[in-house]
Amino acid sequence: MKNKKALTMVIAGVIAIAAIGTVALVNGQTAPPAQQIVQAPAAPIEAKAVAVAATEPESVIKLSIGNPVMTVNGQEQRIDDSGTAPVLQSGRTLLPVRAVIEAMGGSVQWDAGSQSATLNYKDDSVKLTIGSLRAYRNDTLQTLDVAPVIENGRTMLPIRFISESFGFDVGWDGTAMEVTISGEKASELEEATPEPASGDPVVYFTSDISPEGLEAVYSAMKWEPKGNVGVKISTGEPPNSNYLRTELIGDLVKSVNGTFVESNTAYGGSRASAAMHLQVAEDHGYTAIAKVDIQDAKGTMSLPVTGGTHLKEHIVGATFGDYDSYLVLSHFKGHAMAGFGGAIKNISIGMASSEGKSWIHTAGRSKSGIYGSSQDSFLESMGDAGTAVKDAMGENIAYVNVMNRLSVDCDCNGNPAEPDMHDIGILASTDPVALDQACIDLVYSALDGQSVVSRINSRNGLLTLEHAEKVGLGSRTYELVNVGE
């Protein structure tokens, strides 16, 4: 699977939309819709995908103009969650090609840096580049009649050439306005978690937002916690924040014998003191699952920041060092000050003590209050602080982001704006930068992600990722592996 901007495709008479970052409905499994490119202000980030296939009997896929439902071997299923339907445009038929390729058991990869798309099916691959008549079929140079282009913000690739390269038959019924694609289907992934094919950090993804889905992406990391395990969460500000519910995370926390860890806020509210904070943790169900440690209840400790731009230390709770491993569970969402919140925010602002939070907000100028520095300095300070946690823990820290209830507001807001975009899934990685970048890419490519994208852009939120990579917290280039779908 691949995340990134949307693909759409033009070809000898037939055009297809490939929604990068989307897994269409196949065998009743859904994944995030991403049919529309939203141009992010940051530099393009490359991601790769992995799939392993075997042979199964022939499949026949039928799609009709204007109909968001396709049939696969006679069984109706929605093309995706957002109601994408084939359309006619300038005499060309646009098909949701990701749904087709993945229904056949293949995969689609998009390299934003080189503006190229690679489609994989069984042992064959096709690579095409925007604006070029040169294409590669299994590394053999081919010349196209029509160059792939970007039209109306969508990337168009020649579907007939691709279909014929993979041995699919493509038929068009002008009376019924129906396209039929048939061919030998590749199987589901032989391994739930295929081995990564590059040296880039791996981000594991599932659209299944459930305890089982959470366990699947966690297990895919093959990360083994050692000793005393701290599970970093945000307990959420009362009364109505979108904190991670214990029904979702409880089984995983119990399986690692973890202790929930948090620190007090720097802005007041219901979590400004340890006693109040513990009451919120109880009210939100956390104390019924595991012990809860408010880490700065008995003071603070300092983690050195090496190579930071603004900070020389990250001030965390006094019990930070009591844990041999940390599992960082974050609810990915927008944020009123940072633009977005995910893994990086959770190990910087989230792990900071009350005064440490002020230290980051003010870019090392004050240990009280949350104002006093420029926006960019605040964002960069989160990256600085994150490196201190990374250096302290080494390989003994892993990260999970849950992309549900995607409000523009953080869980520190007790009455956040109601989300106006769909839930996407759960992602996990041992690289916090790659993990947050993957989430950003899925939001930016989502058809209904405009509100969250606007919030991020208005706060220059992508600077956090740029700076975090610069100071060595992680990589914005990653490989996305779709687990168990």
Give the domain CATH number at 250. Answer: 3.40.50.11440
Q: What is the pLDDT of residue 399?
A: 98
Report if residue 87 sits inside a domain: yes
Alpha-carbon distance of 7 to 318, in angstroms, equals 49
Q: Are residues 89 and 16 in the same domain?
A: yes
User: Domain containing 320: what range?
Assistant: 204-482
Q: Are residues 208 and 167 in the same domain?
A: no
Report if residue 388 sits inside a domain: yes
Q: Are residues 250 and 179 in the same domain?
A: no
Q: Are residues 175 and 66 in the same domain?
A: yes
Backbone angles phi, psi at 435, to 5 degrees: -65, -50
Q: Are residues 226 and 263 in the same domain?
A: yes
Q: What is the pLDDT of residue 95?
A: 65
Of 155, 186, 217, the last residue of a domain is 186
Q: What is the pLDDT of residue 48?
A: 46
Alpha-carbon distance of 382 to 363, in angstroms, equals 9
Q: Are residues 301 and 223 in the same domain?
A: yes
* Closest by Cα among 398, 481, 462 to 200: 481
Task: Give Rg (Cα) of the chain.
Answer: 23
Report if residue 195 sits inside a domain: no
Report if residue 192 sits inside a domain: no
Please return the burial class of 113, using the count of CB atoms within 10 Å of its CB with bins 0-12, 13-18 and 19+.
Answer: exposed
Q: Are residues 407 and 272 in the same domain?
A: yes
Angle at 22 between CA 9 and CA 157, to 5 degrees: 10
Q: Are residues 152 and 242 in the same domain?
A: no
Q: Are residues 422 and 286 in the same domain?
A: yes
Q: Are residues 57 and 152 in the same domain?
A: yes
Give the pairing of strands 75-78 and 69-72.
antiparallel
Sole residue written with tokens 């980051």: 360
* pLDDT in 10s for each residue of the chain, 485 residues: 333 333 333 222 333 433 333 333 222 333 333 323 233 333 334 444 443 333 445 789 898 888 889 899 989 988 766 667 776 654 555 566 667 777 888 887 767 667 777 888 888 888 878 778 888 888 888 887 666 755 434 455 556 677 778 888 888 887 888 888 888 765 543 444 445 555 789 999 999 999 999 999 999 999 999 999 999 999 999 999 999 999 999 999 999 999 999 999 998 899 999 999 999 999 999 999 999 999 999 999 999 999 999 999 999 999 999 999 999 999 999 999 999 999 999 999 999 999 999 999 999 999 999 998 999 999 999 999 999 999 999 999 999 999 999 999 999 999 999 999 999 999 999 999 999 999 999 998 888 899 999 999 999 999 999 999 999 999 999 988 888 65
Alpha-carbon distance of 248 to 246, in angstroms, equals 5
Alpha-carbon distance of 464 to 443, in angstroms, equals 16
Alpha-carbon distance of 75 to 38, in angstroms, equals 33
* Residues sharing a CB contact under 8 Å with residue 140, sequence separation 6 or more, in sequence order: none
Report if residue 457 sits inside a domain: yes
Q: What is the pLDDT of residue 474?
A: 97
Report if residue 20 sits inside a domain: yes
Q: Are residues 178 and 208 in the same domain?
A: no
How much is the pTM?
0.66
Report if residue 193 sits inside a domain: no
Q: How many domains are contained in the chain?
A: 2
Q: What is the pLDDT of residue 298?
A: 95
Q: Are residues 246 and 300 in the same domain?
A: yes
Handedness of CA 265, 388, 437, 429 (dihedral sign): negative
Report if residue 176 sits inside a domain: yes
